[in-house]
């Protein structure tokens, strides 16, 4: 290794260390007394960047609409690409450098990584995730209707319609897997049978052969557990295969970019994003709602509500915010009337809806 | 401070990964793109044993090494017959298949749900949930790994590896069984990757398949190419930069809606510039 | 008969897309002899060009397709002149070129995402606009028929160029032995530039077709590229005819694999095919 190279490397190392040190100290000096910081860990690049972008837009919207509060609320976004080590790095940076008072994550993978870090540092953590393990601990919360709630309503509707043979198209990803596993439990003891179960990997765009496999199974209805864009491509290819069997889903249809594909189909949704919220979101971003955006909006408002309720002359600590959060009931959110239960999970009841004229409509039973 | 400790632990894990891969790529000249598979084997073994059985961290570590050794022996025998680009593609294929196993062998790995709640190691009553203690543990492993790698690289075994890298036909004329040497170094590097995997699983307490696909193997490859092939300190340097760079970029003020994408652009441009102006990496001895 | 006709149709359509990618890859690889990771991004550029000009600016669809193909070709040509040519002049090894192309791929994908966001988009008007045909019990859409025709035409065209023109002879000469070709007076760099243009244009065309059939997203290039590479290797790298055969074999193995195993293993099956060929018939189906 020549002298020159050694010098170059030494210079680079020094510059990097100084830069990091400078930025670390700079942020510490900017902590203001009355400002509550909410850190957000979300996929801002990579395949699911549109979800991270939706969450960011929704939370900024919530921040803009939040008025007359005792404290100011700041949002800091960090990208994690849904990669475990980046989620951990983002969470650590937000907590120990930015000194956030609350942290939000998306996805069970991220949530499971961030949760122990948040718990250890006693920072409120809200996950938008299906895995209930994410809510373990005093400081961890989840805003996402648990699969068992959704399935209760789903199975009831299947029975009501007299459906005995169910076909399943399932994305090989956490959210779908958790739901189907729970569904299989619930179907034991009923006379409803899953006659075909086709699993595909995220990123797949050619479903034609699994559709061909499912076609012969005699299913009366297909449960499609997929998210954009697999959802639309799958729906389109099912129609192109000349299959007219009805489609149903839990959660997914409303988040679709092309809701019209599912015209006339009923499905189960974890409560309805209010028209008010959907309109505001569309006005701000001119895009459709993405997965978790409404939840993120609510989380911002829940944290604000909890922080505002804390009776203290100084800025509320994370512990105080956590305590207040568990007392929140019947809160009017973007996902309707929500309450935080004692496990730290925000519960909203699932509902049966249908796409009519391109719009979701709740089905009254 | 916590943030720096966290980065330090990541650095240690990726430095171990880099050094292991450097033995295969830098010293033996085999372009292997499957390192993440062995990383994953170590991680999953630790995850499963620590959550579902009474086996402790060190027991799981040993078992992870054993499994990685067995799998790498199998894969290595098949792969050792390939050359150059074909070797790379073959390894890439194996990585995809092993990843498929992590994702779809649901009874064992819980598939995409992942395995949460992995505990930290238990040793002499030291509290490893304190990240600083864990950092010390990780650094100890790093030093051990460095010693092993250095021993391999500087031994007569290592010299034969370099000779194979330069001209395999010549060395076989001298009576050295190149296949045997390539296999042994591949297995050693797989074992090292498994150790890194065990450390990572226990630190981050949650494992899912997404961290062990081909993209991860490419990332580890980028670390050793940047730092310099056939130079162990180069792997340390490469790990230092590639773990730190995205973190430093967090502080650079791009407008938030394109910030993350801009980081990717910068990363790509750095790779291009490196290849154009310094292909041996920062302190490498072997020009790619 | 049941499911068989549909599976066969699916396999043929998939094979047609892969054959275009394999064809373009073989062309470029034959001339430059390195694994260009950014080749897949050319497909993405073609797709997004059509998206931008047709869907956003509202130009005539056929004109934008030509525009998209040309644009992809130009980008490929430009990259060759800017990055790969200087590297070749420095006698850079294949690994350096590969890493440089990794940088190019990372940067370009991110730039496309900055301009168009990373959301999936379709080029066609949406469902219901497609004409659907039934052949022997299996369904096929109009777009898919166009894919078949397009692939056939392009393949025929490339054959004609390679075997009936002087340019084609020069390309084949460089593919066989670059050194000798240069000695004989062929301006290899100029030819490589042209080949980069053509190969990237074909890839762009493939991306446009996929865009109409399914849709586009910034990261779709890499998986398309891998399928094309598997097809090329199975068929015999550099061999145009072999690439086409390999592509259809891959299409069949994937879809029949789904039938016999299940959808989650699709990628693993594709790579298993690759490995089987690498082990037992590394020169591919066609004896060169």
- pLDDT for C127 beyond 60: no
Lowest mean pLDDT among B28-32, C156-160, C283-287: C283-287
Instruction: Give residue A19's pLDDT.
Output: 64
What local confidence, expressed as pLDDT, does residue B216 receive?
87
pLDDT value at position B180?
Answer: 87
The alpha carbons of chain A give a radius of gyration, in whole angstroms, of 23
CB C262 within 8 A of CB A198: yes
Candidates C40, C108, C268, partner chain B, best to mutate (most B CBs within 10 A): C268
CA distance A9 to A5: 6
Spatial CB neighbours of A216, under 8 Å, sequence gap ≥ 6: C2, C3
CB–CB of B129 and A174 under 8 A? no
The verdict on C109 touching B (C-beta cutoff 8 Å) is yes
Contact B114 A174 (CB under 8 A): yes
Angle among Cα C73, C75, C81 to the nearest 5 degrees reads 105
Nearest Cα residue to C34 out of C120, C106, C101, C79: C101
Backbone φ/ψ region at A348: left (φ over 0), alpha (ψ -120 to 50), beta: beta
Whole-model pTM? 0.84
Which has more pLDDT, A96 or A336?
A96
Assign A39 to helix, strand or coil.
strand
Residue pairs between chains A and C whose CB atoms are closer than 8 Å: 101
The per-residue pLDDT for range A197-211, each reduced to its tens digit, is: 999 988 888 899 999
Q: Which of B249-258, B268-277, C21-30 has the highest mean pLDDT?
A: C21-30
The arithmetic mean of pLDDT across residues A107-112, rounded, is 91
Residue A118: HSE in the Cβ half-sphere, 13 Å Cα cutoff? 35
DSSP string covering A331-348 = EEETTEEEEE-TTSEEE-
Burial of B255 (0-12, 13-18, 19+ CB in 10 A): exposed
What average pLDDT does the segment B201-228 reach? Answer: 87
The three-state secondary structure class of A193 is strand
Tell me the pLDDT tens digit for each residue of B53-87.
888 899 999 999 999 999 999 999 888 777 777 78
Interface test with C, best of A42, A168, A203, A212 (most C CBs within 10 A): A212
Mean pLDDT across the stretch C107-131? 78
Which residues of chain C are within 8 Å of residue B80 when distances are taken between CB atoms? none
* Span B121-132, average pLDDT: 84
What's the angle, vertex CA A286, arms to CA A284 and CA A289, rounded to 5?
A: 90
The closest alpha carbon to A348, from A267, A271, A278, belongs to A271
In the block, residue with structure tokens 């969450």: A55
The span from the CA of B102 to the CA of B113, in Å, is 11
pLDDT recorded at residue A6: 65
> Where residue A29 falls among pLDDT bands split at 50, 70, 90?
very low
Provide the pLDDT for residue B256: 60
Chain segment C191-208, per-residue pLDDT in tens? 999 999 999 999 999 999
CA distance B3 to chain A (A): 5
pLDDT of residue B168: 75
| C-alpha torsion B198→B202→B206→B208, nearest 10 | 0
Which residue is it, tokens 């005699």? Answer: A218
- Cβ of B97 within 8 Å of Cβ of C272? The answer is yes
Give the mean pLDDT of C16-24. 95
Residues A129, A116: Cα–Cα separation, whole Å: 15
The model's confidence at residue B149, banded by pLDDT at 50, 70 and 90, is very high
Contacts of B94 in chain C (CB under 8 A): 271, 275
pLDDT at A131 over 50: yes
Q: Centre a 10 Å sphere on the Cβ of residue A274 and count the other Cβ atoms it contains.
A: 16
Question: What pLDDT shows up at residue B252?
Answer: 72
Nearest to B166 by CA among B184, B178, B151, B180: B178
Residue C275 to residue B287, Cβ atoms within 8 A: no
pLDDT confidence band for C14 (50 / 70 / 90): very high
Range A145-158 burial, b when 16+ CB lie within 10 A, else e: bbbebbbbbbbebb
Q: Most distant CA pair in chain C: distance in Å?
A: 59
**CA C260 – CA C253 distance, rounded (Å):** 10
CB-nearest to B111 from A78, A85, A177 is A177
CA distance C187 to chain A (A): 38
Place of tokens 């007392």: A327
For residues B135 and C183, the model is more confident at B135
What's the confidence (pLDDT) of residue C83? 92
The torsion angles phi and psi of B112, rounded to 5 degrees, stand at -70, -10
C93 has a pLDDT exceeding 90: no
Distant-in-sequence, close-in-space partners of A80: CB < 8 Å, separation ≥ 6: A41, A42, A43, A86, A87, A89, A90, A105, A110
Partners of A127 in beta bridges: A105, A142
How sure is the predictor about A4, in pLDDT bands with cuts at 50, 70 and 90?
low
Q: How many CB atoms lie within 10 A of CB A32?
A: 11
pLDDT for A18: 60
Model confidence over C219-240: pLDDT tens digits? 889 889 989 999 998 888 878 8
Mean per-residue pLDDT over chain B, rounded: 87
Q: Provide the Cα torsion A150, A153, A157, A160; round to 10°.
A: 160
CA distance A70 to chain C (A): 36
A282 Cβ contact list (under 8 Å, min separation 6): A288
Q: What is the pLDDT of residue A20?
A: 62
Q: Please give the Cα distance from A220 to A193 (Å, whole number).
A: 11
- The confidence score (pLDDT) of residue A69 equals 84
Tens digit of each residue's pLDDT (9 = 90 or more) over B36-45: 999 999 999 9
Q: What pLDDT does residue A51 have?
A: 86
In whole angstroms, how far apart are CA A20 and each of A17, A27, A101, B54, B80?
A: 5, 11, 22, 41, 44
Provide the Cα torsion A154, A158, A161, A166; round to 10°. 140
Q: Which residue is it, tokens 């949406």?
A: C126
Mean pLDDT within A53-60: 92
Poorest-confidence range of A351-365, B21-35, C203-217? A351-365
Q: Which member of B117, B200, B208 has the closest CB to residue A109?
A: B208
Least confident residue range of A96-100, A115-119, A154-158, A255-259? A255-259
CA distance C153 to A227: 36
Residue A30 pLDDT more than 60? no
What value does the CA radius of gyration of chain C take, rounded to a whole number of Å?
A: 19
Task: Please give the Cα distance from C72 to C47 (Å, whole number).
Answer: 9
Which two three-digit tokens encode residue A241?
């295969």
Question: Would you say A100 and A38 are in contact if contact means Cβ atoms under 8 Å apart?
Answer: yes
Q: What percent of chain A is predicted at pLDDT more than 70?
A: 89
Q: Residue A331: beta bridge partners?
A: A338
Instruction: Give B27's DSSP letter.
Output: I
Residues B216, B197: Cα–Cα separation, whole Å: 12
Q: Flag whether pLDDT at B244 surpasses 90.
A: no
Beta bridge partners of A345: A142
Please, which pLDDT band fits residue C91 given cuts at 50, 70 and 90?
Answer: confident
* Model pLDDT, residue A365: 57
Nearest to residue B230, comparing CAs of B8, B42, B24? B24
- Which long-range contacts does A118-126 make (Cβ < 8 Å, 24+ apart)? A118/A91, A120/B129, A121/A95, A121/A96, A121/B2, A122/A318, A122/A319, A123/A95, A123/A318, A124/A303, A124/A318, A124/A321, A124/A322, A124/A325, A126/A102, A126/A299, A126/A302, A126/A303
Cα separation, B39 vs B220, whole angstroms: 11
Q: Which of chain C's residues have a Cβ under 8 Å away from the Cβ of A208?
A: 6, 10, 13, 255
Distance from CA of C48 to the nearest CA of B (A): 17
Compute the average pLDDT of residues A51-68. Answer: 90
In angstroms, what CA-CA distances link B33 with A284, B21, B89, B254, C159?
44, 9, 8, 33, 34
pLDDT per residue over B158-171, tens digit each? 888 888 888 777 77
Rounded alpha-carbon distances, angstroms, from residue C253 to A67, A239, C256, C268: 60, 25, 5, 11
What is the C-alpha to C-alpha distance for residues B156 and B176, in angstroms, rounded to an integer?
A: 12
Nearest in space to A301 (alpha carbons), one of A42, A65, A53: A65
- Evaluate if residue B112 carries a pLDDT over 60: yes
Q: What is the pLDDT of residues C132-145, one digit of tens each?
A: 888 877 888 888 99
Residue B136: what pLDDT? 93
* Residue B232 three-state SS: helix
Q: Is the pLDDT of residue A32 over 60?
A: no
Q: What percent of chain A has pLDDT over 90?
A: 33
Q: Give the best residue of C207, C258, C260, C269 to mutate against chain A (max A CB count within 10 A).
A: C258
Task: Report the relative pairing of strands A345-347 and A336-340 from DSSP bridges.
Answer: antiparallel
């Amino acid at each position: 290794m020549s002298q020159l190279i050694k010098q170059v490397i030494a210079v680079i190392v020094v510059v990097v260390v100084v830069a990091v040190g400078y930025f670390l100290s700079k942020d510490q000096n900017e902590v203001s007394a009355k400002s509550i910081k909410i850190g957000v860990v979300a996929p801002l690049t990579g395949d699911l960047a549109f979800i991270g972008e939706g969450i960011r837009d929704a939370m900024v919207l919530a921040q803009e609409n939040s008025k007359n509060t005792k404290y100011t609320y700041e949002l800091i976004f960090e990208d994690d690409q849904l990669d475990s080590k980046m989620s951990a790095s983002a969470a650590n940076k937000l907590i120990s450098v930015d000194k956030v008072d609350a942290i939000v994550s998306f996805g069970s993978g991220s949530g499971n990584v961030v949760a122990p870090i948040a718990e250890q540092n006693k920072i409120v953590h809200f996950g938008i995730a299906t895995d209930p393990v994410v809510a373990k601990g005093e400081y961890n919360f989840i805003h996402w209707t648990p699969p068992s709630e959704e399935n209760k309503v789903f199975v009831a509707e299947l029975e009501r319609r007299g459906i005995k043979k169910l076909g399943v198209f399932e994305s090989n990803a956490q959210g779908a897997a958790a739901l189907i596993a729970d569904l299989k439990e619930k179907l034991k003891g009923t006379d409803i049978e899953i006659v075909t179960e086709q699993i595909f990997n995220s990123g797949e765009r050619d479903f034609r052969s699994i559709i061909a496999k499912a076609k012969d199974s005699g299913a009366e209805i297909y449960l499609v557990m997929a998210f954009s864009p697999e959802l639309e491509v799958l729906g389109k290819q099912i129609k192109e295969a000349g299959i007219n069997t009805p489609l149903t889903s839990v959660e997914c249809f409303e988040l679709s970019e092309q809701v019209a594909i599912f015209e006339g189909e009923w499905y189960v949704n974890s409560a309805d994003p209010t028209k008010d919220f959907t309109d505001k979101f569309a006005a701000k971003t001119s895009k459709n709602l993405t997965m978790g955006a409404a939840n993120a909006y609510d989380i911002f408002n829940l944290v604000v509500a909890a922080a505002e309720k804390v009776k203290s002359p100084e800025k509320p600590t994370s512990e105080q915010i956590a305590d207040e959060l568990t007392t929140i009931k019947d809160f009017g959110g973007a996902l309707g009337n929500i309450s935080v239960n004692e496990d730290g999970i925000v519960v909203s009841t699932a509902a049966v809806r249908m796409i009519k004229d391109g719009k979701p409509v709740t089905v009254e039973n | 401070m916590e943030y720096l400790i966290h980065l330090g632990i990541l650095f240690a894990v990726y430095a171990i990964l880099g050094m292991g891969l450097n033995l295969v790529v830098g010293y033996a000249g085999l372009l292997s793109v499957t390192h993440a598979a062995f990383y994953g084997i170590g991680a999953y073994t630790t995850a499963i044993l620590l959550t579902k059985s009474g086996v402790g961290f060190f027991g799981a570590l040993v078992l992870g090494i054993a499994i990685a050794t067995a799998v790498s022996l199998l894969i290595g025998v098949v792969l050792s017959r390939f050359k150059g680009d074909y070797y790379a593609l073959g390894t890439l294929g194996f990585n995809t298949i092993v990843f498929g196993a992590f994702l779809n062998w649901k009874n064992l790995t819980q598939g995409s749900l992942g395995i949460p709640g992995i505990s930290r190691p238990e040793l002499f009553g030291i509290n490893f949930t304190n990240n600083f203690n864990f950092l010390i543990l990780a650094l100890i492993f790093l030093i051990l790994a460095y010693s092993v790698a250095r021993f391999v690289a500087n031994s007569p075994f290592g010299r034969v590896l370099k000779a194979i890298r330069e001209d395999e036909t010549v060395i076989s004329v001298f009576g050295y069984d190149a296949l045997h040497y390539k296999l042994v170094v591949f297995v050693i590097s797989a074992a090292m990757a498994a150790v890194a995997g065990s450390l990572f699983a226990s630190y981050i307490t949650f494992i899912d398949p997404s961290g062990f696909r081909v993209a991860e193997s490419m990332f580890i490859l980028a670390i050793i190419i940047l730092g310099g092939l056939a130079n162990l300190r180069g792997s340390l340097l490469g790990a230092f930069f590639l773990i730190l760079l995205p973190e430093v970029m967090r502080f650079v003020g791009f407008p938030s809606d394109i910030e993350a994408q801009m980081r990717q652009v910068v990363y790509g441009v750095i790779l291009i510039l490196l290849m154009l102006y310094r292909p041996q990496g920062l302190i490498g001895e072997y020009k790619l | 008969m049941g499911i068989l006709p549909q599976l066969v149709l699916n396999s043929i359509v998939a094979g047609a897309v892969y054959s275009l990618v394999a064809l373009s890859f073989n062309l470029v690889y034959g001339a430059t002899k390195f694994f260009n990771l950014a080749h897949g991004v050319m497909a993405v550029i073609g797709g997004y060009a059509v998206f931008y000009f047709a869907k956003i600016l509202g130009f005539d669809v056929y004109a934008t397709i030509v525009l998209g193909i040309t644009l992809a070709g130009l980008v490929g040509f430009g990259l060759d002149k800017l990055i790969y040519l200087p590297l070749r002049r420095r006698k850079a090894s294949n690994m350096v070129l590969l890493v440089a192309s990794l940088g190019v791929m990372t940067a370009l994908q991110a730039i496309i995402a900055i301009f168009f966001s990373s959301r999936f988009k379709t080029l066609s008007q949406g469902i219901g606009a497609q004409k659907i045909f039934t052949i022997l019990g299996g369904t096929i859409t109009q777009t898919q028929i166009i894919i078949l025709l397009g692939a056939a035409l392009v393949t025929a065209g490339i054959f004609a160029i390679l075997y009936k023109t002087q340019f084609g002879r020069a390309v084949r000469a460089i593919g066989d032995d670059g050194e000798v070709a240069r000695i004989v007076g062929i301006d290899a760099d100029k030819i490589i530039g042209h080949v980069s243009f053509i190969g990237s244009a074909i890839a762009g065309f493939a991306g446009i077709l996929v865009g109409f059939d399914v849709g586009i997203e910034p990261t779709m290039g890499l998986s398309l590229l891998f399928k094309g590479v598997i097809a090329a290797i199975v068929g015999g790298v550099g061999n145009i005819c072999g690439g086409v055969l390999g592509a259809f074999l891959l299409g069949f193995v994937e879809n029949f694999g789904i039938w016999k195993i299940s959808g989650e293993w699709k990628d693993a099956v594709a790579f298993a095919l690759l490995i089987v060929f690498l082990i037992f018939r590394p020169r591919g189906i066609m004896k060169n």
